[in-house]
Structures are given as structure tokens and as C-alpha cells.
């Protein structure tokens, strides 16, 4: 693919159908190819890679097409605006784009739950603002658990927070290994989205282990 290939070959290389590629081009999720005539353009390795990233976020990360479009718009504009490695600002921007925020509950109930989240942040001495979008997202989860009669879920969340401190150290180490701004941007996206999926799978395995140990399952049996 040194000198560029047509859209049919790009489709073959990436495993993404031509109409889907055209849709991604229209939506700005894939940069245009190099135009060689009014209705023909050539694509290169960066296009193959971008298509793989899009499919990874949708198929493995479970993101909607709209969420992927927003994340990539953030990544592409940050890549231009952020020649310095402002990792802290970058993390925040990408995180917001990939956080799914459920519709909040009743306003007063939601506000009360948000205060509980802010208390939890203070207990752990974390430096995140009360206006971080994850505060509202977590509060909605708490309200939902409470409406189902699971107020004790808040205690579990408190204990999860400790485990997430370990995870966050891994995540920041991961991003810090990147060499260029583009690589760093992609590391945040991959680390965040694939990291969520990996963690959910690992949590199931760790639960199976813990359950097997507590309730006396024997070793290579599966749960």
C-alpha cells in the first residue's frame, strides 16, 4: 500500500464494507483519501488503521457509532490543538466523550446521591471536581440501586473505589508510555474503551475464582 489503494482494496484490507467506509467518510470519522480524479481517491495505511480503531470501539468496546464519531472528533481536534503533551487535559476530554451518562433520576434524589459521591471523593482525598461528568453518572447508578431496595450498594461502591485507584495507576502508566501526541491520544482511547471491556471480563473470572474458593468448587471445573 505504499502509493495508496482504491476504496475496494481498502475494504478488503480492513474487512469493512465499501458502503460503510463511505458512511464513515461522510461522517468525518475517516479522513478523506488523496483525490486522483473527481470520483476516485487513494487510501493508505493510516486509513486501514483508523478503520480498525473504529471497528474496535464499536465491536469490542460496545460504543455507538455516534459515540465513536464524538471520540474521534475529540482526538482529531486535540491532535491539532495540543502539540504539547497536556495529558491531564487530554484524559479529561477523551473520558467525557466515552462516558455513557444515563438520564438522571428525580432532581432532588439525584442531587442527594451526587453529594454522596462527592463525599466519597473527599474520603479518598481524590482531586476531581464535583462537576466531573462521572459524578452524575455514578450518582444515577446509586439512585437506581436505591430504587430497587439496594441501598447497601453504596458500601460496595466505596470498596470498589480502592480497587479503581490501582487501575488508574495502570492507566496513567499505559498512556505515559506513548511516544507521540497521536499515539498518546490513541492510547487514551484504547486504554479507556478496551480497558473497560477487559476489566469486565476479568471481573467475571475473578468472581468465579472467589466464588469457587468460598464455596469449595474443585479446580479445573468451570463456573
Identify residues 74-133 at the interface with a copy of itself (CB under 8 A).
86-89, 91-92, 95, 99-100, 102-103, 121, 124, 126-133
Q: How many chain residues interact with a copy of itself (CB under 8 A)?
A: 96
> Which of 37, 84, 159, 179 is close enough to bind a copy of itself by CB under 8 A?
159
- Identify whether the C-beta of residue 73 lies closer than 8 Å to the C-beta of residue 93: no
Q: Is residue 38 close enough to count as binding a copy of itself by CB under 8 A?
A: no
Residue 40 binds a copy of itself (CB under 8 A): no
Percentages helix, strand, coil for the chain (3-state, rounded to 5) are 70, 5, 30
| By the rule CB under 8 A, 1 interacts with a copy of itself | no
Query: Does 169 sit near a copy of itself (CB under 8 A)?
Result: yes
Tell me the window of 2-10, 22-30, 73-81, 159-167 that interacts with a copy of itself (CB under 8 A). 159-167
**Distance between alpha carbon 173 and the CA centroid of its chain, in Å?**
16
Beta-bridge partner residues of 34:
42
Distance CA 31, CA 18 (A): 15
Q: Is 213 in the site for a copy of itself (CB under 8 A)?
A: yes
State yes or no: residue 31 binds a copy of itself (CB under 8 A). no
- Which residues lie closer than 8 Å to 158 by C-beta, 6 or more apart? 120, 123
User: At closest approach, how far in Å is the CB of 58 from a copy of itself?
Assistant: 10
Q: Is 185 a binder of a copy of itself (CB under 8 A)? A: no
Residue 4 CB, shortest distance to a copy of itself, in Å, is 20
One residue of 41, 73, 82, 194 binding a copy of itself per CB under 8 A? 194
Q: How many CB atoms lie within 10 A of CB 50?
A: 19
Taking the C-alpha atoms of residue 79 and residue 150, their distance in angstroms, rounded to an integer, is: 44
Q: Three-state SS for 6? A: coil
Q: How far apart are CA 161 and CA 188, in angstroms?
A: 20
Cα 121 to the chain's mean position, in Å? 21
Q: Which is nearer to a copy of itself, 5 or 91 (CB)?
A: 91
Q: In this chain, which stretch among 31-39, 67-75, 107-115, 155-163 interacts with a copy of itself, using CB under 8 A?
A: 155-163
Q: Tell me the closest approach of the beta carbon of residue 98 to a copy of itself, in angstroms.
A: 9
Check residue 126 and report its DSSP letter. Answer: -
Evaluate whether 55 touches 62 at the Cβ level (below 8 Å). Answer: no
Residue from 36, 40, 46, 209 binding a copy of itself (CB under 8 A)? 209
Amino acid at each position: 500500500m505504499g502509493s495508496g489503494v482504491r476504496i475496494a482494496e481498502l475494504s478488503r484490507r480492513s474487512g469493512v464494507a465499501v458502503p460503510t467506509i463511505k458512511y464513515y467518510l461522510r461522517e468525518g470519522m475517516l479522513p478523506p483519501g488523496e483525490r486522483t480524479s473527481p470520483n476516485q481517491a487513494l487510501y493508505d495505511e493510516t486509513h486501514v488503521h483508523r478503520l480498525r480503531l473504529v471497528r474496535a470501539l464499536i465491536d469490542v468496546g460496545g460504543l455507538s457509532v455516534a459515540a465513536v464519531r464524538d471520540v474521534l472528533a475529540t482526538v482529531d481536534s486535540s491532535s491539532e490543538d495540543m502539540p504539547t503533551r497536556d495529558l491531564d487535559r487530554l484524559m479529561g476530554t477523551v473520558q467525557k466523550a466515552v462516558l455513557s451518562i444515563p438520564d438522571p433520576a428525580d432532581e432532588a434524589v439525584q442531587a442527594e446521591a451526587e453529594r454522596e459521591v462527592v463525599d466519597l471523593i473527599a474520603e479518598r482525598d481524590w482531586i476531581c471536581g464535583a462537576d466531573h461528568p462521572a459524578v452524575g453518572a455514578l450518582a444515577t447508578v446509586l439512585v437506581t440501586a436505591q430504587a430497587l431496595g439496594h441501598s447497601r450498594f453504596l458500601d460496595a461502591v466505596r470498596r470498589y473505589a480502592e480497587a479503581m485507584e490501582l487501575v488508574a495507576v495502570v492507566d496513567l502508566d499505559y498512556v505515559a508510555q506513548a511516544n507521540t501526541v497521536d499515539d498518546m491520544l490513541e492510547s487514551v482511547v484504547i486504554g479507556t474503551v478496551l480497558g473497560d471491556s477487559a476489566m469486565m471480563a476479568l471481573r467475571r473470572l475473578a468472581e468465579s475464582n472467589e466464588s469457587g474458593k468460598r464455596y469449595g468448587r474443585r479446580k479445573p471445573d468451570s463456573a
